[in-house]
Amino acid sequence: MGRAPLPPGSSLPAGAGIPPMPGAATRGLPSQIQPKKEAPEQRTLVVGRGISVQGTVQDAERLVVEGTVESSMITAKELVVMPGGLFRGGVEVENAEIAGTVDGALTARGSLTVRGSGRLLGKAACHRLKVEDGGQITGQLEMLSEGSAAAKTADSAAEPVKAIEG
């Protein structure tokens, strides 16, 4: 089939040129399967392609959307919307990566990355923003500052009316 038979007089044992059957135990496999120790394990919810989820999601640290998710508000550490994925509703995360579509309200306290195939519709707030060539943002975008006190100071400095000291 895929490999030529062994030449006559070969020192290799019979069957050595045949690839192992899928699922057969091979030497060294368990060490390859074990998760890396460097990255802490996260509670991840993956909504696969062709799957639609409506409602609330609790205790998920990482949400990966390949299908469709509709929710009024989700809080997680990380949101990843894959190409073809759709998130509709509200979400508050540390970091977000959008390669599909987000339609609603998104708050990323850390970074927000909109990939070339990504679309962000609605209202978004983030601390750091990266938009790749082809990425689209339609709606309202607010840049968050380091702390809420700094944000209030910046907002009041932009206002023409000053507080009365007393």
Q: Determine what percent of the chain is predicted with pLDDT higher than 70.
A: 64
Residue ranges covered by each domain of the chain: 44-143
Is residue 28 predicted with pLDDT exceeding 60?
no
Q: What pLDDT score was predicted for residue 4? A: 55
For the stretch 29-43, pLDDT in tens is 444 444 444 556 789
Model's pTM, two decimal places?
Answer: 0.65
**Choice among 13-17, 104-108, 136-140 with the minimum mean pLDDT:** 13-17
**pLDDT over 90 at 122, yes or no:** yes
DSSP of the chain: --SPPPPTT-SSPTTTTSPPPTT---TTHHHHHSPPSSSPP--EEEE-TT-EEES---S-SEEEESSEEEEEEEE-SEEEE-TT-EEEEEEEESEEEESSEEEEEEEEEEEEEE-TT-EEEEEEEEEEEEE-TT-EEEEEEEE--SSHHHHHHHHHHHSSPPPPP-
Tell me the range of 1-10, 21-30, 49-58, 128-137 where mean pLDDT is highest. 128-137
